[in-house]
Amino acid sequence: MSRLKTIICWILGFVLATAGMALAQEDKKGCKDHPLFSRMEGYYLWTCSVGDFDAYDFIDPATKQKVTIEGKKIYSGYSEKKGLKGKHSFTQVSRNYTNAIEKLGGTFWVNDPKNPYKTSMRLLKDGKEIWAYIHIDTNAGSFHLTVVEKQAMTQEIVADAKFMADGLHTSGHVALYGIHFDFNKADIKPESGPALKEIASLLRSDPKLRLYVVGHTDNAGGYEYNMKLSQTRAEAVVKELVNKHEIGAARLTSGGAGPLAPVASNDTEEGRAKNRRVELVKQ
């Protein structure tokens, strides 16, 4: 009887161990493949994470230089299923993803073509700029896929009246990034309300203060077009302050500098975003 119990216990133990190994090879709960990349056959997702706004370093396929990309970051960790150890190679895993990128019209750069365990990829799709990086571990037993969907950080803190006053006192001007316009237009977006309210508070706190309101653009588009756009945007800000916030029109003068006074390089989207701004200049 004791021998029978021993056999039963051994069988139960084997079944439980086998079930445990099977479960260990299933995708971690809540993890799923990135929609742009199909599953590499023979692997499972053992871990994953998503960050709404993060940064990661890639090698730009065009320049072969390191670039830091900010945006939504999706990390996926894949591992080979039991019984398939050694069935895949660095090249096989790498090609699975670089072929996918090329089919979508993207580009990639393998750090070392003879040993392709690190690869950066870049893709423009549906108006989004998407970067991806694969790091393949020894013998391709596991690999890591990091994807960043590039985006600018949402500006949650609006420069307040004190910040503006300090800037005007220190340097005679202050750049504002809380005033937003429709693309290629001078229509002010509703989310600009808090920044405009703070400008009005600044002017009310110092009745003698007079300001130039100056529009700035990046260098995309023609010179004449940008000069006109920056001027009409500045005029729209003045109109908003006068009509909605009851600031005296004589205290505000609009002007457009177009692309003439950049504060960053126009060679990158980050730089162009900084150059698109409204500045307050003390008269």
In a domain, 5, yes or no: no
Q: What is the pLDDT of residue 24?
A: 58
114 lies in the same domain as 196 = no
Amino acid at the residue 17: A
User: Angle 223-245/193-205 helices, nearest 10 degrees?
Assistant: 70
Regarding whether 139 and 187 lie in a shared domain, the answer is: no
What are 37-46's pLDDT values in tens digits?
888 888 999 9
The Cβ of residue 85 has, within 10 Å, a number of other Cβ atoms equal to 12
User: For position 201, what pLDDT does the model report?
Assistant: 95
Residues 46 and 143 in one domain: yes
> Are residue 224 and residue 167 in the same domain, yes or no?
yes
Residue 254 sits in the same domain as residue 193: yes
Q: Tell me, what's the pLDDT at 3?
A: 57
Is 7 exposed, middle or buried (CB count within 10 Å of its CB: 0-12, 13-18, 19+)? Answer: exposed
Instruction: Say if 138 falls within a structural domain.
Output: yes
**Which amino acid is it at 272?**
R
Write down which residue in 87, 120, 150 finishes a domain.
Answer: 150
Residues 183-203, buried b or exposed e (16+ Cβ, 10 A)?
A: eeebebeeebeebbbbbbebb
Last residue of a domain, one of 104, 120, 150: 150
Write down the pLDDT at residue 15: 45
CA 184 to CA 181: how far, in whole Å?
8
Q: What are phi and psi of 118, to 5 degrees?
A: -135, 120
Range of the domain at 103: 28-150
Is 10 part of a structural domain of the chain? no
* pLDDT tens digits for range 13-24: 444 444 444 445
Within this chain, do residues 103 and 171 fall inside the same structural domain, yes or no?
Answer: no
CB contact at 8 A, 217 and 274 = no
* φ/ψ bin of 49: left (φ > 0), alpha (ψ from -120 to 50), beta (otherwise): beta
Collapsed DSSP state (helix, strand, coil) of residue 41: coil
Asked, for residue 11, whether it belongs to a domain, the answer is no
Q: In what order do the strands lie in the sheet with 142-150?
A: 43-59, 66-80, 142-150, 128-136, 118-125, 107-110
Residue 123 and residue 181 in one domain: no
* CATH value at residue 174: 3.30.1330.60
pLDDT per position as a tens digit, 76-135: 999 998 877 778 888 899 998 999 899 888 999 988 777 789 999 999 877 678 999 999
Q: Provide the token pair at 232.
A: 């009409």
The helix/strand/coil state of 64 is coil
| 166 and 118 part of one domain | no
pLDDT of residue 184: 84
Instruction: Tell me whether residue 7 is in a domain.
Output: no
Q: From CA 65, how far away is CA 77, in angstroms rounded?
A: 25
Return the pLDDT at 11.
53
SS3 of residue 174 by DSSP: strand
Please indicate, yes or no, whether residues 145 and 32 belong to a single structural domain of this protein: yes
Whole-model pTM: value is 0.50
Q: Which ranges of the chain have pLDDT less than 70?
A: 1-24, 127, 152-158
For the chain, what is the domain count? 2
Which ranges of the chain would DSSP assign to H, the alpha helix? 2-24, 90-103, 161-171, 193-205, 223-245, 269-275
From residue 265, alpha-carbon distances to 11, 67, 111, 132, 276 in Å are 69, 15, 27, 25, 12
| 168 and 267 inside one domain | yes
Residues 140 and 229 occupy one common structural domain: no
Q: What is the CA radius of gyration of the chain?
A: 28
Q: Could you say which of 150, 183, 199 is where a domain stops?
A: 150
The answer to whether residue 156 sits within a structural domain is: no
- State the pLDDT at residue 170: 87
Tell whether 268 and 180 lie within a shared domain.
yes
Question: Has residue 12 been placed in a domain?
Answer: no
| Helix 161-171 with 193-205: angle, nearest 10 deg | 60
